[in-house]
Amino acid sequence: MKSPNTIYHNATVTRERRNQLNSHKSVVIWFTGLSGSGKSTLAHSVEEELYKMGCVTYVLDGDNIRYGLSSNLTFSDDDRKENIRRIGEVAKLMMEAGVIVMTAFISPFENDRNLVRKILPQGDFIEIYCKASLEVCESRDVKGLYKRARAGEIKNYTGIDSPYEAPNNPELVVDTKNELLEKSITKVINFLKSKEIIILEFAH
């Protein structure tokens, strides 16, 4: 609950001025999908391309957030919700600072993702669904987490004993099972161009 003594301060250096300086718009690009669906790989690869264009970017990654900002949270439904709320608020602040913010989180619940969408101005939340079946994601189980969840060593693991709710109407769907990474990167970059978030002729 917000304190009645808290007053939000608007910056004199506005988001619009920062965007003008950066020569691109700042947005939140929210990659969602099962563990192993390629969210982090795609987010960091897209960031690499944007960086080469001179864009100001940052990737908020699930494991990194759990190390610090959300280190006190479990994987219960309530704590997952709070984790996503915190990430959304941080992403909003970074967006206000002129950054193209990419997030790579399972974020399994539709309502939680929609809460983040609602705290951002219309059009500033770009949901990208990294689509891959549970079978495919389990076959990519680099960390061995699915195997441990199947063995009962990890509880409330998304896709095993906790649900994943696929987006109903994402801005973009990337088929990470059948598409090469390069094609997925191009698809995301072309989408950002189509929305005039990045404009090549103004890239640094």
d(CA 143, CA 167): 25
Going by their DSSP bridges, the two strands 125-131 and 100-104 should be labelled as unpaired
d(CA 173, CA 97): 27
Whether 45 sits among the annotated catalytic residues: the reply is no
d(CA 158, CA 155): 9
SS3 readout for 127-164:
EEEEECCHHHHHHCCCCCHHHHHHCCCCCCCECCCECC
Q: Which residue among 35, 107, 133, 162 is the active-site one? A: 107
Beta sheet of 100-104, edge-to-edge order: 57-61, 100-104, 28-32, 125-131, 172-175
Ramachandran bin of 134, using left for φ above 0, alpha for ψ from -120 to 50, beta for the remaining angles: alpha
Using only C-alpha atoms, what is the Rg of the chain?
17
Do 134 and 34 touch, CB atoms closer than 8 A?
yes
Give buried/exposed letters for 6-20 (b at 16+ CB in 10 A, else e): eeeeeeeeebeebbe
Please give the positions annotated as active site.
Answer: 107
